[in-house]
Amino acid sequence: MTTEEKIKALRDELREHNYKYYVLDAPTISDYEFDVKLKELQALEVAHPEFSDANSPSLRVGGQVTKNFETRQHTYRMYSLDNSYSKDDLLDWEKRIKKLVDGEIHYTCELKYDGASISLTYENGELIRAVTRGDGFQGDDITTNVKTIRSVPLKLKGNYPPKFEIRGEIILPLAGFNKMNEERLEIGEEPYRNPRNTASGSLKLQDSSEVAKRPLDCLLYSIKGERLGITTQIENLEMARSWGFKVPDAAKVAKNIEEVLDFINYWDVHRHDLPYETDGVVVKVNNLQQQEELGYTAKAPRWAIAYKFKAESASTILNEITYQVGRTGAITPVANLEPVELAGTIVKRASLHNADQIEKLDIREGDTVYVEKGGEIIPKITGVNLEQRPKGSQPTQYITNCPECDTTLIRQAGEAQHYCPNDKGCPPQIIGRIQHYISRKAMDIEGLGGETVALLVENGLITNYADLYELSVEEVIPLERMAEKSADNLVQGIERSKEIPFERVLFALGIRYVGETVAKKLARHFKSVDALMLASEEELMIVDEIGDRIAQSVIEFFNSQENRTIIDRLKVAGVQLKISEEQLANQTDVLQGKSFVVSGVFEKVTRTELKELIENNGGKVSGSISARTSFVVAGEKMGPSKRTKAEGLGVPIITEDEFLEMVG
């Protein structure tokens, strides 16, 4: 056997032992024997660097140092999940999805792992990238650290696709977490608060050899890619398992919501027997074609929902109610609490939401209140212990004036919150608007954070986001904690933001009710800020998903002379306030006013590409067939009930080729 063959054989053998130990939990050799073989491989690799392999088992011990984690775009967006807390929530969800898809619906039930979300990319069976969830659109590249996690396969087994992504959760099992805390207590260190936060923090350590010392695990649950030949979510899990991924075997298919509830009730009791933390059950439509047809809202898939187990609660004293002002002027009352430990963290504050909530619960300063972590993340007050209310306690009087600028608050009909109308002179609103403008999903200005924005405003250097483009390095350097290099990075970051596309600039402007999705739709329809500024309420409401509330808000924003002046200054600065020539070249109005339903599997383009073609040519993509549907684009395996419905309503059914001919 040649040296190269010996190295390859050792790598294959060690990979198999890793898989048996960390994935199957069924080791066939002792730890000592494994270490002997690993040392033999390491010695051969040092002596023969010409046979190096970036995915060798020897690299599991880490050693590389990453000072800055590079930002990477997700090929497929990582959505969050809508939450439910009762049988009624699940029944409402089922009712909604049954209106959008035909035929029988089955569900997969999976445990919801409490860890850090991760997306792994594999090419030709080898791990090439690991990226955190981030904001769902982009995250941090932590490949070096993830390679140290033994249950993450560096090379796959079996018959895998040439390229795909797989999503999962990196967790810290309870036994490992407890052992880490025992070791910290022995050396007089403060123990870690909870496994989830510790797992997440571990992934951002700069030294991968430190990550390797932590007993992290990785549980996978979702494969993403094109033409994978997988038709159901349960098959998704089975295929991932066959390729060498660690996929918990608790998942099962349920034929109806009653079976889903049986699964939930079982695990609500037995979750305490698991080796890791879980805070609920994820319920998904099992059929992937039905998932495609259901699609997504702006934030979450319509075809999945998380059922959260009852949150942990505690009681504590409400010391004081204070009020925060948001960037839109919305006032949020905040309960300042006597610190209490809840679900592994110390809770000191909780949102009281609005005046109605305070009145409904009759919450008063000095009360003993019950606190929950909604979904075990955001603390909320669920009630008051009236038996312990102090004598002489007076009902809470909601403030009438802004706590920041003393302007009289307003509350519009139908609105839950009070607002400060002094949007041009109230400091938190001024700072908040600029912080929104520079945020990651908006202009993503590198080198400029929220605290620096506050400093710039407080020092009189800026009063709105157009002022950013007139900042110089010399003006910025005197700011607290600002050196020449960081000042230069800030100014350069502002300069680069001029390349951000129009749809994100429109979102960055901070028009009330105009989120990412609405901004994209408005940008595609009007193509420039000039056309948008001239649009009437009727013209705005023609756009898909734009109702009277959004239309009125857009008109109100552009009717402001101050806002129009800011827009003019952004134009002069060179900010993208219209769709680029390149984007325009891909857009037409040939499908204007037409609504399409896409169903089945396609050969020449993917479903995603087909939907983009519809939108880029002025059409609207709908999830369900109705009398208003213009065409159904039918691929292979189109559901028979969908075909019957289309034929019954007289909706034309066209092929992939006919559609592509339609858009040229």
Angle at 169 between CA 163 and CA 175, to 5 degrees: 135
Q: Which residues of the chain have pLDDT under 70?
A: 21-23, 25, 31, 60-67, 187-189, 343-344, 374-378, 585
Residue 632: the pLDDT is 93
Cβ proximity of 563 and 557 under 8 Å: yes
- Known catalytic membership, residue 112: yes
Q: Residue 466: which of 328, 585, 574 has the closest Cα?
A: 574
Label each residue of 418-482 as H, E or C.
CECCCCCCCHHHHHHHHHHHHCCCCCCCCCCCHHHHHHHHHCCCCCCHHHHHHCCHHHHCCCCCC
Cβ proximity of 154 and 128 under 8 Å: no
First and final CA of the chain: distance in angstroms?
A: 60
- In this predicted model, what pLDDT tens digit does every residue of 119-153 receive, in sequence order? 999 999 999 999 999 888 889 999 999 999 999 99
Please give the Cα distance from 577 to 105 (Å, whole number). Answer: 45
| Catalytic pick among 98, 99, 112, 520 | 112
Give the pair of three-digit tokens for residue 360: 């409904």
Residue 375: the pLDDT is 46
Helices and strands per DSSP (H, E), number in the chain = 25, 20
Tell me which long-range contacts 53-56 makes (C-beta under 8 A, separation of at least 24): 53/11, 54/126, 55/126, 55/127, 55/147, 55/154, 55/155, 56/11, 56/154
Residue 376: the pLDDT is 44
Residue 603: the pLDDT is 85
Task: Give the domains, in start order, of the chain with CATH numbers.
Answer: 3-61 (1.10.287.610), 83-142+154-308 (3.30.470.30), 313-388 (2.40.50.140), 427-499 (1.10.150.20), 502-585 (1.10.150.20), 595-662 (3.40.50.10190)
Task: Name residues whose C-beta falls within 8 Å of residue 73's C-beta, 6 or more positions apart in sequence.
Answer: 137, 138
Q: Residue 299: which of 86, 141, 518 has the closest Cα?
A: 518
What does pTM read for this prediction?
A: 0.63
Please give the Cα distance from 48 to 3 (Å, whole number). Answer: 8
What are the backbone dihedrals phi and psi of residue 520, each rounded to the nearest 5 degrees, phi first? -60, -45
